[in-house]
Amino acid sequence: MNPRPHTAVIGLGAMGLPMATRLAAHLPVTAYDISEPRLAQLAAAGGTPAATPAEAAREADVVLLAVRDQAQVDAALFGENGAALTLRPGTTVILTSTVGPDAARATAARLAERGALTVDAPVSGGPVRAGNGDLLIVVGAEDKALDLSRPVLDLLASTLTVVGPRPGDGQALKAINQLLAGVHIAAAAEAIALARGLGLDPATVVESLRHGAAGSFMFADRGPRMVEAYASDQDPEVKSRLDIFVKDMGIVTGIAKSAHVPVPLAAAAEQLYLLGERSGLAAHDDSSIVTVLSPKEADR
């Protein structure tokens, strides 16, 4: 196991950039993204920008994908100038995106045809924790792939859970994580919408309840941003796009249906995110979902 594997990071979005910056402080990192400003930020942190995914992966021992969905995974790996063109046999590909178990297994099978190993390692925790190496990472991978990727994963995770030996196992646990996260955000939005409807100060409600039995990480994290949505004419900073939960709750309800497990709360939350998307909030912070239930102009 190389203690300092040359690592390619493909995707410098809300999670990819802080992860790449964290890695660049400890490992040789080459990265690709369509955004020139993000590539410049990575360069300032000690990484090396690449013009294509193939160029980023050319000398890599480990390739970390931090893209939004399976379509972007396919484009980054197998599209024109995709990383698969230059992957060397034995290279390990870490899939950090939430794409669902079937998609992860299909990706791993295509990579195996090229002699590459796959570590299914979806991440959770948000951009700040990504930059601090404080992520929750759940892994599905065979021992060899996991060992080769350990120097990278250990720099990013404070909690690393090996779920099983196959790609897709990590995705299954991440789906359960997203079920809880998505339902908790929707519940927080309902609580704050009801508080406004009852004439209560939402900021007081959040500050009071976040410390009690009704609190949750999502209520404590998203609640203040929901309050901010009403306190300012400007939208809160986008830390997690609403359409990410449209995607993720779709994965949750899809695999639940395949397993014949009823998930009524997840299904209701999915519909709320779809309503938000149809209302033009797809690219807004997911905390903006509260304005679907209690519009800004609603009577207080």
* ∠ CA 225-67-165, rounded to 5°: 110
144 is catalytic: no
Rounded Cα distance, 70 and 103, in Å: 7
DSSP label at residue 233: S
* pLDDT for residue 67: 97
Task: Quickly state the pLDDT bin for 297 (edges 50, 70, 90).
Answer: confident
* pLDDT for residue 225: 94
* Residue recorded with tokens 């941003």: 225
* 213-225 pLDDT per residue, tens: 999 999 999 999 9
298 pLDDT exceeds 80? Answer: no
Q: Do domains 7-166 and 172-293 have the same CATH topology?
A: no
97 pLDDT exceeds 50? Answer: yes
CB-based contact 15:130 (threshold 8 Å): yes
Nearest to 78 by CA among 50, 109, 36: 109
Task: Quickly state the pLDDT bin for 300 (edges 50, 70, 90).
Answer: very low
Nearest to 202 by CA among 214, 215, 189: 189
Q: In the CATH hierarchy, which top-level class contains the domain 172-293?
A: mainly alpha
Q: Rounded mean pLDDT of 248-253?
A: 98
Kindly give, in sequence order, each residue whose CB lies less than 8 Å from that of residue 272, ignoring residues fewer than 6 positions away.
186, 189, 289, 292, 293
Kindly give, in sequence order, each residue whose CB lies less than 8 Å from that of residue 127, ignoring residues fewer than 6 positions away.
14, 15, 17, 18, 239
CA dihedral 291, 293, 296, 300 (to 10 degrees): -140
CB-based contact 114:141 (threshold 8 Å): no
1 pLDDT exceeds 80? Answer: no
Q: Rounded mean pLDDT of 266-283?
A: 98
Nearest to 90 by CA among 139, 20, 42, 145: 145
Give residue limits of the domains in the chain. 7-166, 172-293
DSSP label at residue 87: P
Q: Rounded mean pLDDT of 60-76?
A: 97
* Residue recorded with tokens 């959770």: 124
Q: Which of 174, 239, 247, 257 is catalytic?
A: 174
* pLDDT for residue 237: 86
Please state which CATH number belongs to domain 7-166: 3.40.50.720
72 pLDDT exceeds 90? Answer: yes
DSSP label at residue 235: P
299 pLDDT exceeds 70? Answer: no
* 181-237 pLDDT per residue, tens: 999 999 999 999 999 999 999 999 999 999 999 999 999 999 999 999 998 777 878
Cross-strand bridge partners of residue 15: none
Q: For the chain, list the strands marked E by DSSP.
A: 7-10, 29-32, 48-49, 62-65, 92-95, 117-120, 123-124, 135-140, 157-164
Task: Quickly state the pLDDT bin for 133 (edges 50, 70, 90).
Answer: very high
Task: Indicate the average pLDDT of the chain.
Answer: 95
